[in-house]
Amino acid sequence: MIVLTPLKNFQFPVHAECISPDVFQGKSVKEIASLTVWEGNKKKKLGDLFKIEETSAETPSIIINSDASEVRRVGQGMKNGEIVINGNAGMHLGEKMAGGKITVNGNANGWTGSSMKNGLIEIHGDASDYLASPYRGSTEGMRGGKIVVDGNVGSDSGCYLRGGVIIVKGNAGPFMGFHISKGAIYVEKNAGNRLGASMTGGKIVVSGSVDELMPTFTIDGVKGKVKIDDTLKAEGPFYVFLGDLAENGNGKLFVSQPANPQLSAIYDKYL
């Protein structure tokens, strides 16, 4: 196991896609220290910015101790192993991740899990905007794997989801699940406006209240519980909505009936 400790508080973004179990595997501490990173526009070596230690423990593969909120692209494209960050994590964490596990004992910045293919990301704090979402102009969102956030998530999370599961134990910001076509999103508390806008497939489940429900969704019934994945079912009852009809979509929104009494006067007469 390799333990990384920042040698200072970073004032500029550190691009460190080399911090990955796949890259570190088979390398000595000296070789790892010589890996290239960028601090702002300055080319550096990993050993210039981090104290690097090796221990006899096999797991996790990499530990980053202290705040890493300015350290970007950690675990990018990783296929195996495990990373634990004991602090906040920087942008693009686990981008295009294809396997393994990343644990953040803090908050995670934007685009965490962007275009993720497989593996597991656990965030024991909040996640910022664009969780599991692609860059603007791209339609290649998360395709597999699982992301669990203990806290809240920002706006535009789960956009263009093509597979996999996102579980948010707190609240979700606006545009959650924009244009999803496959996969599942579960929000245990409340969700912001434009929920599921332009979705064509997949499912979004909200156990709390919703700020609004778009008029391009139609009521389809009430369901007692909903399967999120093979390990989790959400207890309802839930209103079931189909849409987004503006996209000829066949996605499903499951919205808590008890937590949204404002919807009963509008939709109960159609049930």
Query: Per-residue DSSP letters for 205-263?
Result: EESS-BS---TT-EEEEEEEEEEEETTEEEEEEEEEEEE-GGGT--EEEEEESTT-GGG
Give the strand order in the sheet containing 36-39. Answer: 42-45, 36-39, 14-15, 71-72
Average pLDDT over residues 170-199: 98
Q: Which of 216, 208, 158, 153 is nearest to 183 (CA)?
A: 158
Average pLDDT, the chain: 97
pLDDT value at 196 more than 90:
yes
Matching residue, tokens 């209103």:
239
pLDDT single digits (tens) 243-256:
999 999 999 999 99
For the chain, give every domain's residue range: 2-216
pLDDT single digits (tens) 68-78:
999 999 999 99
CA-based angle 196:197:203, to the nearest 5? 25
> Residues 161, 140: contact at Cβ < 8 Å?
no
pLDDT value at 136 more than 90:
no
> Residues 247, 200: contact at Cβ < 8 Å?
yes
Amino acid 86: pLDDT: 98
Largest Cα–Cα separation, the chain: 70
pLDDT value at 166 more than 90:
yes
Average pLDDT over residues 201-215: 96
Q: Residue 30: which residues within 8 A CB-CB, separation 6 or more?
A: none
pLDDT single digits (tens) 44-63:
999 999 999 999 998 999 99
Q: Which of 162, 211, 156 is nearest to 184 (CA)?
A: 162
The 8-class DSSP code of residue 60 comes to S
pLDDT value at 84 more than 90:
yes
Amino acid 182: pLDDT: 98
Q: For residue 98, what is the enclosing H or E element?
A: strand 98-104
Q: For residue 136, what is the enclosing H or E element?
A: none
pLDDT tier at 231, thresholds 50, 70, 90: very high
Q: What is the DSSP pairing of strand 98-104 with strand 82-86?
A: parallel
- Rounded Cα gap, residues 7 and 20, in angstroms: 19
Q: Which of 189, 238, 242, 237 is nearest to 214 (CA)?
A: 242
pLDDT single digits (tens) 18-47:
999 999 999 999 999 999 999 999 999 999
- Rounded Cα gap, residues 229 and 29, in angstroms: 40
> Residues 77, 59: contact at Cβ < 8 Å?
no
The 8-class DSSP code of residue 153 comes to B
- Rounded Cα gap, residues 237 and 22, in angstroms: 44
**Phi, psi at residue 186, to the nearest 5°?**
-125, 120
pLDDT value at 157 more than 90:
yes
